[in-house]
Amino acid sequence: MKSKIMTMREAIRAFVNDGDVVYLGGFLQHEPYAAVHEIIRQEKRRLTVTKSAGMIALDQMIGAGCIDKVISTYIWNPLPKPAHALRRCVEKEIPHKIQMEDYSFLSLTLAYFAGALDLPFVATKTLLGSDFTKHSSFLGENKLKIVESPFNGEKVCLIAPLKHDVGIIQVQRVDKEGNAQAWGLMGDSKYGINSCSKVIICAEEIVDTEVIIKDPSRTIIPGFKVNAVVEEPFGAHPSYVSGYYDMDWRYFSFYDKATETLDGFEDYLKEWVHGVKDRSEYMKKIGKKTLEDLKPGPWSGSPVDYGYCGRFQEDYVS
């Protein structure tokens, strides 16, 4: 079997194409910033990108001209501050006009859920009475519909599935086959990454399969659905990864000030994206002291015993 382990440059070149519908995983944590920067470096264009909590990763891709259409619940700097590139795009069409489709957190997660399970829709009461049911952008009638339940006549909202050409997420660990494990705040990530035809898993570390087997409930996607495995420590910076590093709030403050003007944004890309060849150079710019400051102290959950019950089966099978 051909190895799935590759560099970020190789993974983005092989599996992200111009015009793709791209899912970016991560709900505050697990955001694939290293992958986003490589997409910008390779100048991918005409992308439709979906992301539940759209922080500055989407802002950077919009400002760099990668995105034509975006599906999200919000796009902002979590300080909170405005996403300046998005604002210039909406108000002045810089660098070009984009189309935006808005969802609530729950309705977008349900759309991912339907896509992951290959369902025609998910029926729910969420969004009833809201303006989401009255307005849509480029998805039009393929976003949601209000119908009467065939069982009791109640009004329900049908949310159409969202599927993606490729999905990318940063997780805690993965094995060489692509069995990916994540924990902490998950949001929509499990359903979103499973709604993708191709999957790039970026991880803090690659571990032996035995490690995965000993804690199976943390696996969010099986290896047979994964196309590329990239070991990328600190690949989610400036967001966080539970157990590995904290949110870098100082960086978000720096980004807010640096990108407030168009010239400032271009300078930011020149220095922090195009000015470094890969994530390792990026982290050298961040500095060892900052990286050490972001590392969390120990706070372990209680271990569980899954119980090994295979010996009886082994007796009969043999």
139 and 193 belong to one structural domain? no
Residue 219 near residue 180 (C-beta atoms within 8 A): yes
16 and 90 belong to one structural domain? yes
Residue 103 near residue 188 (C-beta atoms within 8 A): no
pLDDT in tens, 238-292: 999 999 999 999 999 999 999 999 999 999 999 999 999 999 999 999 999 999 9
219 and 255 belong to one structural domain? yes
pLDDT in tens, 282-302: 999 999 999 999 999 999 888
Q: Which domain holds residue 44?
A: 8-119+161-294
199 and 97 belong to one structural domain? yes
Alpha helices of the chain — where are they, by DSSP H?
8-15, 33-41, 56-63, 84-92, 105-116, 189-193, 209-213, 249-258, 262-272, 279-286, 288-294, 310-317
Task: Assess whether the previous peptide bond of 238 is cis (omega < 30° from 0).
Answer: yes
Question: What are the CA-CA distances from residue 167 to residues 66, 67, 301 (Å)?
Answer: 16, 15, 29
* Residue after which a domain boundary falls, among 137, 159, 181: 159
82 and 148 belong to one structural domain? no
pLDDT category at 8 given cuts 50, 70, 90 is: very high
Would 318 be classed as within a structural domain? no
76 and 193 belong to one structural domain? yes
87 and 31 belong to one structural domain? yes
106 and 31 belong to one structural domain? yes
136 and 193 belong to one structural domain? no
277 and 137 belong to one structural domain? no
Strands 21-24 and 122-124: unpaired
Judged against a pLDDT cut of 90, whether residue 318 lies above it is answered with no
Q: How many CB atoms lie within 10 A of CB 279?
A: 22
Contacts of 309 (CB under 8 A, 6+ apart): none
pTM for this model (two decimals):
0.95
50 and 32 belong to one structural domain? yes
Would 210 be classed as within a structural domain? yes
Would 317 be classed as within a structural domain? no
61 and 186 belong to one structural domain? yes
CATH number, position 13: 3.40.1080.10
pLDDT category at 160 given cuts 50, 70, 90 is: very high
For 239-296, the DSSP string reads SBBTTTB---HHHHHHHHHHTSSHHHHHHHHHHHTTTSSSHHHHHHHH-HHHHHHHPP
Would 217 be classed as within a structural domain? yes
Would 308 be classed as within a structural domain? no
pLDDT category at 130 given cuts 50, 70, 90 is: very high
Judged against a pLDDT cut of 70, whether residue 313 lies above it is answered with no
Could you give the percent of the chain with pLDDT greater than 70? 97
Would 244 be classed as within a structural domain? yes
Residue 44 near residue 37 (C-beta atoms within 8 A): no
Question: In the chain, how many domains are there?
Answer: 2
Would 299 be classed as within a structural domain? no
Alpha helices of 134-236 — where are they, by DSSP H?
189-193, 209-213
Looking at per-residue confidence, does 44 or 303 come out higher?
44
